[in-house]
A and B are shown apart, each in its own frame.
Chain A
């Protein structure tokens, strides 16, 4: 009957506080919300630290649902071999990067990985195209035309691609992000 109870131990809480940008309350809250997504019989502490929650269930959390990049976010933080589910610690890592106190540097580092759809270490035109489509939506009538997309990506590259190699690398990305004040607030998830 959930022998070890539903509370994280003091030692574990302290460890998580050390490893993340989250406060004790935020960690406790995260644990509660994560456990709610698990089957009834797995909601005790021991199991909750072992089990994984599918993307489908994680994305049902309203605060995540609202983010246009939600699928890539889950993929980047998943440590599952098939990268299709999150453990509690994956979930904590996610919340840590998206917390109020995470530095812009950390956020931009992860943003780069999130936007790198083909996981090849740079943002090329194809990545940028998929990024824009995240924002405009799935439907055919909500997407930009090919020429509009080209114009937009040309503008983005003109502003960001300093070495003019047709792609945006991490340092070019971090440089252009540092000048846009809205980046931080669009990379914030607080439960």
Chain B
């Protein structure tokens, strides 16, 4: 990615024409009504014309985006939960013209139960933490203002050659689990403290695995990029070595092997009511890595989740909770691991990834990030 471009901003034209992908079944099933009631009038006033496409099933959006004539649209607006944005981004990266396709501006309007991206963009804009219709209105106003900002993208490789991209998070452990007995796979879809999480705490268990990461400042490209020539394309992840090999020696390997959860997070929020990364917005090429080691009590976990609503959980001084900003990571589990990537299920024994800096454009406030992290040098990708 051209460094001169990495801190640049952009804007949608006026008037502009957008494709709206909406999942009518998302969240409480009111997305379509909310679009018609709250979003449409604002778009009309702001000279944003649109075509509405309603998704009918899982992967429908992904297929639509893969086949779509992208030149017709100034932006793709996604009104649903984070899962739909995940589908759209992976659909764009699946195209033969992925390198330009991924530059198509995206906009996230909250419509589902997990609206982390919308909540994070709301936070970057300096707005108060809000939910539901207030969050929807804020995000729609941002779309009407048309300013764009580049966002990081997490490039992932899992065992058996699985390749995918994450716009928000990868979670393992308590946050994503499988009911082995009933053979139903599910993730904690509603990412706020709910009755469901309460019962998850009743069944609290630990997960065995090995976690390693590349902290900021230690970044040096490996000699053999993990993805030499891909039929599929996608960026070269030069910090990563093949999964079959041990991580490079300058990586940090976490000595403990029993965890309650591991979370790689690209933004500040996990939902409109979970301010997970109060340390603020990540610099280009960096992501948040949290993990909770085994040994933490149910009470402490409850306390952390409650405090997370206002971003106060880091002040709980919980010795089991560890935070580190990183540019790449690898997580290998004992047996079949259940991961939640942007809220979507991934089952694999091992996964690794690195952050591709400022890889996609999103409707945002166009403000400069104001955290200390933004002063840090983005990791330099030295040629091999």
Residues of chain A whose beta carbon lies under 8 Å from any beta carbon of chain B: 68, 100, 132, 135-137, 142-144, 148, 151-152, 155-156, 159-160, 176-177, 179-186, 188
Contacts and interface: CB of A to CB of B under 8 A. Distances in A.
Nearest to A150: B306
Contact of A180 (B192, B196, B302): B196
Nearest to A156: B195
Interface of B: 179, 181-182, 184, 186, 192-196, 198-203, 297-299, 302-303, 306, 309
Nearest to A177: B195
Contact of A185 (B179, B195, B198, B298): B179
A156 to B, nearest CB: 6
Given A100-B181, A155-B194, 9 more contacts: A148-B303, A151-B306, A152-B306, A155-B193, A156-B195, A176-B195, A177-B195, A180-B196, A186-B202
Given A135-B202, A180-B195, A186-B202, A144 B179 contact: no
Given A152-B306, A179-B196, A182-B202, A135 B298 contact: yes
Contacts of B198: 132, 135, 156, 180
A182 B195 CA distance: 10
11 contacts: A100-B181, A135-B201, A144-B303, A148-B303, A151-B309, A152-B302, A156-B198, A180-B195, A182-B179, A182-B196, A188-B181
A10 to B, nearest CB: 31
B179 A142 contact: no
Q: Which 4 A-B pairs have the closest CB atoms?
A: A180-B196, A182-B199, A186-B202, A136-B299
Nearest to A160: B195
B202 A181 contact: no
A136 B201 CA distance: 10
A153 to B, nearest CB: 11
Given A152-B306, A180-B199, A181-B186, A137 B194 contact: no
B140 to A, nearest CB: 25
A100 B298 CA distance: 25
A144 B307 CA distance: 12
A188 B179 CA distance: 13
Contacts of B193: 152, 155
Given A181-B179, A181-B184, A184-B182, A136 B195 contact: no
Nearest to A190: B181
Contacts of B181: 100, 185, 188
A177 B198 CA distance: 11
Contacts of B203: 182, 185-186
A142 B301 CA distance: 11
Interface centre among A144, A148, A155 (most CB of B within 10 A): A155
